[in-house]
Every structure is written in C-alpha cells, then in structure tokens.
Amino acid sequence: MRLNPDGNRANLSPEYMAQLEALPERERRRFMLGEYQQAVDGALWRMEDFRRAAVITPATRGRVAATMRRIVVAVDPSGCSGPEDTRSDEIGIVVCGVDAGGNGHVLADLSRRDSPAGWARAALQAQVDWGAERIVAEHNFGGALVEATLRGINPNAALRMVTASRGKAARAEPVAALYEQGRVTHHGTFAMLEEQLCQFSASGYHGPHSPDRADALVWALSDLMLSTPPAAPARWVPTRFTLGR
C-alpha cells in the first residue's frame, strides 16, 4: 500500500500541494508521490539533474515536432509474448528528437508489454504520429526476427538495426555526458524511464530488472547526437603546393 499527498489532494490545501510540487525532483517524488529511490554510488544520472519542458499533448505534438531537425523512434525488444506476460521485461519504445541547435529532446515513452505484432504496430504508429525519420531497433535480441516483425507490418518502413558491441553501462556513459552538459530536455516526467537511468553507474546497471526503457533512450539519443556523419565524397581542392624548387 502506498499513501501519499498526491492521492489525497481533495483534503489538502492547494498551497501545501504547490509547496510539494516545487521541491527538487527526488524530494518531490518521495514526499508527494511516496516513491523512495535508493541512491546508487557513482550514478550516471541523478533525478535532480533532469531538465524539463512542458508535457506534450496530442494538440501540441505537431508544433513540438516541427521544431525538431530529426526525430527517431527507438525500440529495445524483449521476449515478451503479450500484455499479460509479466515474467518478461517490457519492450522499450522511446521517441526522441534533436533540434536545430543540436540539443536532444525526450518526447515520449511508449514502452509496454505486448505481443511482437502489438509492439511493432505501436512503434510504426509512433513513427507516423511524430513524423520520425526512422525506427532504430536493437538487433541482438532475436536477430533478424525483430526486423522481420516490423517489415511484416510495413515492408517500406525506414529502419536502422543496431548491434550492441559494448556493455550497457559503456553505451550509456556518452549519453549521460550529454545530460551533464545540459543538452537533453525531458518533455514532462517519465517516472519509470528516469528511475532506470538513475540505476546506472560506471560499474553497470543496478536495477532489479532489465533497463528496457533506458536502453531504448540510449539507442535513440546515440543515433541522433553521437553517430558519426557519413564522409563527404572525395573532390579536388585547388592548393598552392608545387613540386618546383
């Protein structure tokens, strides 16, 4: 049982609730929502360090999307067989964008437990809703099965399959550095996603389950902000160099 002021708003003054809302993020979650989080030594993310913007609604989604230079939908698959399969991890589905200034934005967390066809449809619909450039999906779990599931629903979907060649913490560290630089903004509060991020340290992931949501975020922001741009085609450039003496 969880008892907290947020669930008792009808009997508390608006002034008191406003004071709780104004607390730093970690204290707000503890004293208003009743969520206590064990601190991780050397955590790569801290709850109080997340930069925030207004929650995106269906009415404002198009306006926010128009300010992004690129948007991707990232998928971190699992062995989940359906919504009732609580023994398996969730499928991470996170929508992120990068604006003209090179700053990252976490736009939506659509992670869920669903059948392969269910999560594939959700990811493809998110690509349409947000006008995303492509879907980035991890290739490791199930190999070609992930791509085949997405292609089976939309053969023409723009996909990029990525392979994890390093451990989770090693992949997460460069993305955590973007947060330290103040270059990533969360549009709203993504409680479960942010809790997973705060369980990462340089020594690994310390959460009780797989960081499915956090992994999807890492894939998305890595694709948007850390990928090496393709090399420009070779061309002749005039110079003043001469072999003459």
Q: What is the pLDDT of residues 86-100, one digit of tens each?
A: 556 789 999 999 999
89-116 average pLDDT score = 94
pLDDT at residue 218 above 50? yes
What CATH number has the domain spanning 40-226? 3.30.420.240
Average pLDDT of the chain to the nearest whole number: 84
- Please tell me the predicted confidence (pLDDT) of residue 74: 96
What is the predicted pLDDT for the residue at 39?
A: 58
pLDDT band for position 231 (50/70/90)? Answer: very low
User: Tell me, what's the pLDDT at 175?
Assistant: 95
Q: What percent of the chain has pLDDT over 70?
A: 79
Mean per-residue pLDDT, 156-169 = 84
pLDDT confidence bin for 145, thresholds 50/70/90: confident
Which of residues 57 and 78 earns the better pLDDT score? Answer: 57
Whose CA is closest to 90, among 58, 122, 61? 122
